[in-house]
Amino acid sequence: MKYLPIDRQLFIQNREKFVRHLKNNAIAVFNSNDVMPTSADGVYPFIQQTDIFYLSGMDQEETILVIFSDAKEEKHREILFLRETSEHIRTWEGHKYTKEQASDISGIKTVYWTWEFDRVFRMLVFEAEYIYLNTNEHNRADISVQTRDRRFIDRCRAAYPLHKYERLAPIMHHLRAVKSPLEIELIQNACDITEKAFRRILAFIRPGVWEFEIEAEIVHEFMKHRSRGPSYNPIIASGADSCVLHYVKNDKQCKDGELVLMDFGAEYANYAADLTRTVPVNGKFTPRQKDVYNAVLRVQKAAISILRPGNTLEEYHKAVGQMMEKELIDLGLLKIDEVKKQSESSPLYKKYFMHGTSHYMGLDVHDYGHRFRKFEQGMVFTCEPGIYIREEGIGIRIENDILITSDMPVDLMKNIPAEVEEIEELMK
């Protein structure tokens, strides 16, 4: 792996927290992601399923994790199943984990080969009353592609129809929403790599560059610092396309007088960073661009201050909407008398700020977490207000990653330039 070794205490502690949420006499199974095909004999680079990584640190295809804390034999309370290597695999694909390496990374002593899974699982499952299985229950997930977890559910139910089945997703959503100090270090590393990329492109952007050239500079800097690349598809949107929220074509030339909105973040050790900055292509904001930019920045600063324990996303987004409403009135985009008559369910500010301000962040850029759960120390959220004025071709979003603490929130991207004057100075 490109990233440096991770302290295995992270995975040991995560499993200790996990087993406290299982019913008595329960066995849980986690599968790796598939290696996804393209066409002909092509495949995409492998990216691990984040739950199995969270609990084991295993970053290899065809890995299975079994946790059975009430197993009669102690050696079977935590088991890893690994893809067995061969001379053919070594020649064509290179090194795969040895059993010893897997134990060293994960802290799990018992390791079998994946081809042994059916035999070992059958031996254990009849000791269990409950079987916990995994599905993707993220409310924005595309579940049209059948995963290894989904296929295993079908196999398991057919083979063991009389067991009681439970969902792993609620447990994982609860646990992963709160980050440990070791996880926060990894997220901070991803943020620091992202900062390096942003500073690099501030010296690169000028009229005439292409959006994909900016993207290339970003990815280059990421990979220089042990990232496998972006944690999501970068958005490099200049001109009118800065108002397109998920613009990923990145195929236009940046023109003098335009803004370029850049939403990108480095991956490090499977953990994500998520940054957005909007800068003038020629290095100097126009008065109107500056007014809109500063309005967004004021909202962001105020929004960060209320990412505090006890708040909820619902209450928080409502408060941020009221902040944005005032700024839009001051910018001449909304009228006070119309705002007074607006529907509570369809506030007028959403014409110019149509997305949420914050989402959970961690191993997935849109990480696990329930929107009605109260904020707690150790949660990490983005804070990303924006104003999008299509008729003026101005789209501005500013986004930082924020750690909730017992006191004031901590901005993990506080060193990344955001003030107008600082951006203009660095772009000279």
Catalytic (active-site) positions = 41, 246, 263, 274, 355, 359, 366, 384, 388, 397, 399
User: How many CA atoms are closer than 13 Å to the CA of 92, on its beta-carbon side?
Assistant: 5
Integer Cα distance of 98 and 362 in angstroms? 28
Residue type, 134: N
Residues whose CB is less than 8 angstroms from the CB of residue 149 and which lie 6 or more positions away in sequence, other chains included: 30, 31, 49, 133, 134, 135, 136
Looking at this protein, which amino acid is placed at residue 8? R
DSSP result, 149-209:
HHHHHHHHHHH-TTSEEEESHHHHHHHHTS--HHHHHHHHHHHHHHHHHHHHHHTT--TT-
What angle, rounded to 10 degrees, do the helices at 181-202 and 9-19 form?
A: 130
Among 184, 170, 231, which Cα is nearest to 366's?
231
How would you classify residue 310: left for phi > 0, otherwise alpha for psi between -120 and 50, otherwise beta? left
Closest CA to 305 of 385, 396, 218, 190: 385
Rounded-to-integer distance, Cα 279 and Cα 282, Å: 9
Residue of 143, 140, 129, 138 lying closest to 169 (CA atoms): 138
Sort residue 226 into left (φ over 0), alpha (ψ -120 to 50) or beta: left
Cα-atom radius of gyration of the chain, to the nearest Å? 24
For residue 390 the two structure tokens come to 């299509």
- Nearest to 321, CA basis, from 292, 355, 288, 289: 355
